[in-house]
Amino acid sequence: MILSGKEIKKRLGKEIIIDPFDDSRVGPNSYNLRLHHDLVMYDVAELDMKKSHATKSLVIPEEGLLLQPGQLYLGRTIEYTETDNLVPMLEGRSSIGRLGLFIHITAGFGDVGFCGFWTLEMFCVQPVRVYAGVEICQIFYHTIEGDYTRYMSNKYQNNRGVQPSMLYKDFENV
């Protein structure tokens, strides 16, 4: 089951934390999250799953930043979220998708117990100008059945900024 917007509000401060929270961003069954002004790009043309990669930081200026096709931009939400006893999910808003801007390539599925900011894997079909503070995606919540183990990660839990891939850590104990 997916929680309704009213149920999201009812569970705030208990199973759901969204900080900062603004009642005007609650939808019928989701909450709109905003784009932070910090972005990250990989600083190399070829990426190797077994290695950490250098990145460069970008800041979205007030006049916006023109994203280019064929380039991956990592962003993050302004809002910090915590979830307990629910599975958080992230999707781009339809208005954003209709501009040809993808908000997450594969990582829209959260884990029960996730705490942190959401990293956005942004990719566009054609050049598109983005602005900090825009409501770029929506978070929604599924109930979970049965016993579960809370998400605990040495990679992404309790993050503070934009998170590049840490897949290389999976190879350290192999």
Residues involved in catalysis:
121
Number of neighbouring beta carbons within 10 Å of residue 75: 25
Element (H, E) at 97: helix 94-97
Closest CA relative to residue 159, chosen from 59, 64, 36? 36
For the chain, where are the E strands, in sequence order? 16-19, 31-34, 38-42, 55-59, 65-67, 73-83, 86-92, 101-102, 115-124, 128-130, 135-143
Alpha-carbon gap, residue 88 to 81, rounded angstroms: 9
Burial class of 124 by CB neighbour count within 10 A (0 to 12, 13 to 18, 19+): buried
Q: Is the peptide bond before 28 cis (omega within 30 degrees of 0)?
A: no
Number of neighbouring beta carbons within 10 Å of residue 74: 21
